[in-house]
Amino acid sequence: MALTEQQMADRLALIKQIAARKKRMAKIVAKGKLVRTYVNDELERAPRVNLTEKYDGGESEIHYTDASKYAKEHYGEVYHETTRLDNDWD
């Protein structure tokens, strides 16, 4: 089965189109790899932030660890009257 000149020319044109597309896609993939590498490098270099750091050592004014002490200090008698019968339920 021999190809005619027209079939051969069509086939070569198609091969050139496919080669150009592959070359273009290779560039796009390479750029994508560079972007991913850059983003990953930036993420790895970002300093790690300890989210609980502000609660360590009592530095935060809004964080109170001893609830009963806080209630006695700020609510006093109201706290006592509200909770004095709680032990009877146990």
Task: State the pLDDT at residue 85.
Answer: 75
What pLDDT digit, counting tens, does each position of 25-65 carry? 999 988 888 777 766 666 666 666 666 555 555 555 566 66
Task: State the pLDDT at residue 23.
Answer: 96
Task: State the pLDDT at residue 43.
Answer: 65
Task: State the pLDDT at residue 86.
Answer: 74
In percent, the amount of the chain with pLDDT more than 90 equals 28
Number of helical (H) and strand (E) elements in the chain, helices listed first:
3, 0
Distance CA 54, CA 8 (A): 74
Considering the chain, what is the average pLDDT of its residues?
Answer: 77
45: tokens are: 């270099």
**pTM score, whole prediction:** 0.39
Q: What residues have CB less than 8 Å from 72, skipping those under 6 apart? A: 79, 80
